[in-house]
Structure 1
Amino acid sequence: MRWHLIKQTSWMALFMLGMGLIPSCQSEQNTKPDNLIPGDRMADILTEVHKAETRVSRLGLRSVDSSNIAYKHMEKQIFKRFKVDTAAYARSYGYYSSHPREMEVIYKQVVEKLKKESEAPKPKPAKS
């Protein structure tokens, strides 16, 4: 079941890297934005974002609107936990998307984190 999460994230990473190549071929943003989220921290945030996306998809909500509302709620919680605002996240994501090599490094970390979590031993339920 966790393997599905890793596989889904890997495909998403490849897609995002591909999408990042298009803008970078047109005009590369050479200057780092103010308050750029460091790569390691961005990997932590993206790991949580992908886990939230998976949780929402497993909720089986029939409406796209309901799924979006659930995801946005989870996303707010992630940004709050990492003390990041949506503008800084969007600027950082845009920067890394226009720098595919840096984004690739970040997504390798994301995939590794998800893989470690999926392979971690599960706590045994308490006996009653």
Structure 2
Amino acid sequence: MTDNMLKKLFLLFFICAAFAACQNIEKSERPENLIPEDKMIDVIAEIFLMQSARNFNKRMFENTGIRGQEYIFEKYEIDSVQFKRSNDYYADNYEVYQRIYDSVKNRFEKLKVELDTLQQQEQQIKDSIAKVRRDSLGVEEDSLNPEEERKIEEISDSLINEKDSLGRRVLDSLPQPRSRN
């Protein structure tokens, strides 16, 4: 046998083996307790948020005492086996799985816009408080020393970061802008 013929035979064998291997792919059966698609979106989004929080500051996350997946599974009244089977089923159905992940992505994009807006509002409040403080002291804007600026920052932070009785940040406590008529 020549080298060329041997290469062709090897290539033919490889193609047949690859083709035969692809024929035995088993798809997951639809589980009896399949997590509905909209609930799966919520679960996956929360899992991503928990993982991000843990990755951002692992020590602070661990100090909260929250056990990520356990918390999510309790919240959505599911268990890890049900989640795995549902995830496997959706993963075998590419179009549905893609739709789930697109929905999660859209949810995070909307959340980012909301958080950016809140951050801008907080900065506007800080700037307004600093201006009012300077105006009430009769001080020119550029003449504040770093200590006075730090005090203004603390006052504005305490107003912005009001917390409820459980220590959660209360966003609704921010004053709403008044329209000028």
- Equivalent in the alignment of 1:42: 40
RMSD of Structure 2 on Structure 1 (CA): 2.8
> With CA pairs under 8 Å and 6+ residues apart, which has the higher RCO, 1 or 2?
1
Q: CA deviation at 1:126?
A: 5.5
Equivalent in the alignment of 2:72: 78
How high is the TM-score relative to the length of structure 2?
A: 0.47
Q: Does 1:87 align with 2:81?
A: yes
Deviations 1:28-79 (A, max 9, x none): 23x4111100111101100000011111111156xxxxx8xx9x91111111
Unpaired segments of 5 or more residues in structure 1?
Answer: 1-22, 62-66
Letter paired with 1:83: E
Name the SS for the 1:26 alignment partner: coil
* TM-score (ref. length: structure 1): 0.65
Deviates more, 1:115-124 or 1:79-88: 115-124
- Code of the residue aligned with 2:52 in structure 1: it is T
Inter-partner Cα distance in structure 2 for 1:127 and 1:96: 46
Aligned partner of 1:127 in structure 2 is: 159
Q: What SS does the corresponding residue of 1:127 show, helix, strand or coil?
A: helix
User: Which stretch shifts more, 40-49 or 52-61?
Assistant: 52-61
Q: Which amino acid aligns with 2:46?
A: E
Distance in 2, matches of 1:32 and 1:47, equals 22
Gap change, CA 1:97 and 1:59, over 3 Å in 2: same
Q: Does 1:109 align with 2:103?
A: yes
Aligned residues: 97
Q: Which of these two proteins has the greater Rg computed from alpha carbons?
A: 2
**1:110, 1:40 → 2: CA distance?**
10
Q: What is the letter of the counterpart of residue 41 of structure 1?
A: K
Which residue of structure 1 lines up, in the alignment, with residue 27 of structure 2? Answer: 28
CA distance in 2, matches of 1:126, 1:91: 47
Moved over 4 A (4+): none
